[in-house]
A and B are shown apart, each in its own frame.
Chain A
Amino acid sequence: MDFGNDLDFLDQPEFGEPDFFTKAPIELMGPTLGLDIHQNEADFEEADINEDIGEIKSEGFCFKLAPDECPSEFARSLKHLGPKLADFKHGTTTLAFEYQDGIIVAVDARATQGAFIASNKVRKVIEINEYLLGTMAGGAADCQFWERYLAMQCRIYELRNSEKISIAAASKILADICYSYRGYGLSMGTMVAGSDLKKGAQLFYVDNDATRVRGQLFSVGSGSPFAYGVLDTNYKWDLTTEEAIALGIRAISSATHKDSASGGVVRVYHVNNQGGWTKIHDQLDVNEDHYKFENSKGLRGDGKEGFGKLKL
């Protein structure tokens, strides 16, 4: 079944049968993905940036560049070129922390464009594969696309080496991508949380400057100062999983209350030490959680305790 580059295979009688495709070469299935680029690990970081032709070829992708004197400056200044063009969704609160029984990842779900709430149901935890999670802050498209690509790379690693990729290596792939596109205005602040059988659960922070840090407790986004406040007060290594989940929810709810660019629902994931993760809460309304928490303290929840005194 060697097809070459012509379309003769269309005439073959078995074309269209399910069996046909399982045997078809991979570049025929998805030539645009270009899986054949990485013949060896050495060309992995080689991004061929050719500004004269106006494209970046790297990782098997071809990104078109603007026909401008300095395309990288063009790409960086996108947000000034057209309204809403690259109005990146900076407003967010995401957090993750390691504790004795794994990692808790908790995020809000609001996407804002300026003051406009574009959505209250965004998925900011990207399920990369069955043992890796990535969070999303900054440019939604950047995070979604490159973490999807990371999933692909992790699978290829597994096929090549017959073992799962380590969390450190997976987060390094993402950091390398950020490094090769430095100066082009990528915007991502992500936490890679995952679990392998050798080292258990591990947490890395990766951002668009290609910073990559291993740590115990991170919070990213405009609501992070508020989340850090709650987290640092109540965090300890020996939390039980129930306590850790409650702490994650509490920190996100508090942040969404004070920070107007965060809100919607909380989504909570637990990464265990046995090489996997589970989704704990798919969508927990922060509003209901806020009222429940304030009522448990004997408050009304709407902050209107002294409203009776107000005169018209």
Chain B
Amino acid sequence: MSIMDYNGSAMVAMKGKNCVAIAADTRLSQQLCTISQNMQKVFKVNDRCLFGLAGLATDVATYSKELKMKTNMYKLTENRDIKASTFTDLVATSLYEKRFGPYFVVPVVAGLDDKGDGEYEPVIASYDYIGCKEQSYFACAGTSQSFLYGVCESFYKEDMNPDELFEAVSQSLLAAMDRDSLAGWGATVYVLTPTEIIVKNIKTRQD
């Protein structure tokens, strides 16, 4: 068993029209044994950007704090919130900093870039654990990655509104988690719109 599968996780992010969504399971486990059903895997950068970390739980905790520190420093020096697209680069460089002693995490970033006139550009980025960035319509990470890719290919369509996006993301996540023995035990979906962050807990299977 690889170190990336030691604590299971399922994470998916998807683009919509003027909105993005990111969802993750809430299970903390040590291989086959469940330890907690309340693990936080998605973190807030600011009102326009969220990121999730899949992978080794101890590194998730450390690396999320490191990113928090870096974004706070950015805010103090620049006196403004970091843009989502800038944040995706920050994640890539800070992962590569640890090229030869990496954190075993796979980040997924979901954010909105302001284009003016009330229009927003959705930003989705996923990485490998040493910081190779890839931007796409949707991003999948964690032990359920391959299941998620299958369902996302099938369920994704262009220009979804927040409600459709919520449905697509949660159905993708549920379908994938039900086939992955290492992820599950509750899930949280975050839909980011220009005006609000909608957070919903989904009732899932508990086996």
A237-265 toward B: CB 8 Å interface, digit per residue (1/0)? 00000000000000000001111111110
Closest Cβ of chain B: how far from A253's Cβ, in Å?
A: 8
Complex contact B8–A301 (CB within 8 A)? no
- Tell whether A291 is near chain B: CB-to-CB under 8 Å: yes
Q: Considering the complex, which residues of chain A in the window 78-131 have a beta carbon less than 8 Å from any beta carbon of chain B?
A: 91, 108, 110, 112, 115-117, 120
- State the Cβ distance, B30 to closest chain A Cβ, in Å: 10
- The chain A residue with its CB closest to the CB of B187 is A302
- Complex CA distance for A306 and B203, rounded to whole angstroms: 16
Q: B179–A116 contact, CB under 8 A?
A: yes
* Chain A residue at smallest Cβ distance from B177: A117
- 8 Å CB interface, B34-56 against A: 34, 36-38, 40, 42-44, 50
CA distance A241 to B38 in the complex (A): 37
The reply on B207 being an interface residue by CB < 8 A is yes
Is the contact region of chain A dominated by helix, strand, or loop, or is it mixed? Answer: loop
Contact residues in B for A110 (Cβ distance below 8 Å): 181, 207
Contacts of A303 in B (CB 8 A): 36-38, 185-186
**Inter-subunit contact B34/A260 (CB<8 Å):** yes
Q: Does B76 contact A (CB under 8 A)?
A: no
A257 to B206, CA, bound (A): 6
Interface presence of A312 (CB below 8 A): yes
Interface mask (A294-312 → B, CB under 8 Å = 1, otherwise 0): 0000000111101100101
Cβ–Cβ contact B201 & A117, under 8 A: no
Contact B207 A287 (CB under 8 A): yes
Contacting pair B143 A115 (CB below 8 A): yes
Q: Which A residue's beta carbon lies closest to that of B144?
A: A115
Interface residue from B38, B190, B204, B207 paired with A307 (Cβ < 8 Å): B38
CA distance A307 to B39 in the complex (A): 10
For residue B65, CB closer than 8 A to chain A, the reply is: no
Contact across chains for A304 and B178 when beta carbons are under 8 A apart: no
Instruction: Please report which residues of chain B, range 174-196, place their CB below 8 angstroms from some CB of chain A when the two chains form the complex.
Output: 178-182, 184-186, 190
Q: Does A271 contact B (CB under 8 A)?
A: no
Q: Assess whether B32 is interfacial by the CB under 8 Å rule.
A: yes
Q: Count A-side interface residues using an 8 Å CB cutoff.
A: 30
Interface pair B32/A259, CB less than 8 Å apart: yes
CB of B3 within 8 Å of the partner chain? no
Task: Compute how far the CA of A261 lies from the CA of B5 in the bound complex, rounded to whole angstroms.
Answer: 14
Q: Does B197 contact A (CB under 8 A)?
A: yes
Per the bound structure, the CA–CA distance linking A186 and B22 in Å amounts to 45
Chain A residues 254 to 290 lying within 8 A of chain B, measured CB to CB, are: 256-264, 286-287, 290
Is B18 among interface residues, defined by CB-CB distance under 8 A? no
Q: Are B32 and A263 in contact (CB under 8 A)?
A: no
- Asked whether A304 lies within 8 Å of B186 as measured between CB atoms, the reply is yes
Question: How many angstroms from the CA of A114 to the CA of B181 in the assembled complex?
Answer: 9
Asked if A222 is an interface residue, CB under 8 A from chain B, the answer is: yes
B182 neighbours in A (Cβ, 8 Å): 115, 260
CB <8 Å contact, B180 and A115 = yes
**A117 and B179 in contact (CB under 8 A), knowing A257-B34, A260-B32?**
yes
User: Taking A260-B181, A290-B206, A304-B37 as contacts, is the C-beta distance between A115 and B8 under 8 angstroms?
Assistant: yes
Contact assessment for B201 and A256 in the assembled complex, using a CB-CB cutoff below 8 Å? no
In the complex the two chains form, is A91's CB within 8 Å of B181's CB? yes
- Contact yes or no, A290 B207, CB < 8 A: yes
Q: Are A304 and B201 in contact (CB under 8 A)?
A: yes
Since A91-B32, A256-B207, A302-B201 are in contact, a sample of 20 more A-B pairs with Cβ atoms closer than 8 Å, ordered by chain A residue number, is A110-B181, A112-B181, A116-B179, A116-B180, A117-B178, A117-B180, A257-B34, A258-B34, A260-B29, A260-B181, A262-B207, A264-B207, A290-B207, A303-B38, A303-B185, A310-B40, A312-B43, A312-B44, A312-B190, A312-B199
6 A-B pairs with the lowest CB-CB distances in the bound complex, closest first? A263-B207, A303-B37, A312-B44, A256-B207, A260-B181, A287-B205
Provide a sorted-by-A list of 11 A–B residue pairs whose CB atoms are within 8 angstroms: A108-B207, A110-B207, A222-B32, A260-B181, A261-B32, A263-B207, A302-B206, A303-B36, A306-B38, A310-B38, A312-B42
Which residues of B line the A interface, CB within 8 A? 5, 8, 26, 29, 32-34, 36-38, 40, 42-44, 50, 143, 178-182, 184-186, 190, 197, 199, 201, 203-207
